Structure 1
Amino acid sequence: MRYKVAPDPEDGRDTLAAAHRAVPLVPGSTDDCCARLQSRLDLTTREDAREWLAFLDALGLATETTRGYERVQTDPAADAVGAAFREHVFGAREILDALAAAEDAVTAGEAFAEIRPIVPTWERNRHDDWERVWRERTSRLLEWAALLGVAEKRSDGYVDAPASQERQ
C-alpha cells in the first residue's frame, strides 16, 4: 500500500522525531493519537494530525493494531525509514528513480513531470488547480527525500544520495 500523504517538512527531522514520540507505546485510538499529535506538534486541524499519523505509518514509525495506533521502536534516522519512504509513499519511488537516472540535478518542476502521469483521475478532479497541488506535493516529497537521506538537496535541485556521494 502506498500513502498519498507528505506533511510539510518545514522543521524536518525534529518534527519527525517529535511526531514519532507523540504516538503512544500502548495502542491508542486514532482520535487519541491525533489529539496527541495535534497538541505536541501544535497542529491547527485534526486532518493535519491524521496526515502525520498516516505518514508515520508509511515510514514504519507507527503501526495500526486492532486496538489502535502504537509507536514502532525504530530510530527515525534509520536507513529503513528512507527505504519505507521509497516503497510506501505515493510518488517517492518515481521521484527517486528519476534522480537516480538523471545526470544532473533535478528541479521540482522536472520531478513533477515524472509524477504527473501517475496522478489518479479522482485527484485531478478533486482540486480546481490539481497541478498546483501536486507541484507542492512534489516539492514536499523532494524535501522529505533529502531529510531522510535518500536524496541530496543542492542549489540547482536534487540528486540521488548515493550518486552524489560518488561524485565527491
Structure 2
Amino acid sequence: MRYKVAPPVRSLAALNDARGAVPLVPDDESDCCRAIRRASDVPDRETAREYLTFLRALGLVAESDRGYYRTRTELDEETLATAFRENVFGAAEVLDTLGSDPRTVDEVFAAVRPAVPRWERERHADWERVWHSRVERLLGWATTFGLCRRTDAGYEAA
C-alpha cells in the first residue's frame, strides 16, 4: 500500500520527536495527534494527522484495531529512504526523474505531471498547484533521507 500524504518537510530529529510522541501501546488517532502536537512544533491537528500517516508509511508507526502505536524500527536513513521510496505515493516517480544534472521543482513537476491520476486531477480545483507543492515536499523529504541533493541549480540524484 502506498500512502499519499507528504507533510511539511522537517529534520530527522523532528521526525523522531513526532514518532517518540506516539505510544508503544495502541491509542486512538486523536490522542496520537495531540501527543505529536505537544512533542513538536506541528501547528494543528490536520498536520499532526499527516505526520501520523507519514510515520506509518515509513514503518515507524503501525495501526491495529485498538489504534496507532510506535514500532521498534530503528530510525536510520537507509531504512527510511527505502520505505519512503516504496510506500509514499509519488516518491519513486519524483526520484526517477532525477539524474546527475540538477532539475528544478518545475522541471520535476512537468516530468511527473502525466502520472498524476485522473481522480487526483478531479479532486482539486487547482490540482496543478496542489501537486506542484506535493512534488516540492517529496523532493525535500528525499533530500532529508539522502536520496537526492539540493544545489543552487535544483535537485540531483544522490
Tell me the TM-score normalized by structure 1: 0.87
Deviations 1:59-99 (A, max 9, x none): 11111122211111223233111000000101100111111
Q: Residue type of the partner of 1:33? A: C
SS at match of 2:150: strand
Report the equivalent of 1:165: none
The aligned runs of 1:1-168 (5 Å cut-off) are: 1-9=1-9, 11-99=10-98, 102-161=99-158
Q: Residue type of the partner of 2:136? A: S
Greater CA drift, 41-50 or 81-90 = 41-50
Question: In structure 2, what is the Cα distance between the partners aligned to 1:114 and 1:22?
Answer: 37
How many residue pairs end up in the alignment?
158
Supply the RMSD in Å over aligned alpha carbons.
1.4
Q: Residue type of the partner of 1:8? A: P
Question: In structure 1, what is the Cα distance between the partners aligned to 2:81 and 2:64?
Answer: 23
SS at match of 2:68: strand
* Seq. identity, %: 50
Deviations 1:106-160 (A, max 9, x none): 2111111232112222222222211111111100100100001111111111111
CA contact (8 A) 1:23 1:36 kept: yes
Greater CA drift, 39-48 or 135-144 = 39-48
CA contact (8 A) 1:16 1:76 kept: no
Query: Unaligned stretches of 5+ in structure 2?
Result: none
Question: In structure 2, what is the Cα distance between the partners aligned to 1:15 and 1:152?
Answer: 20
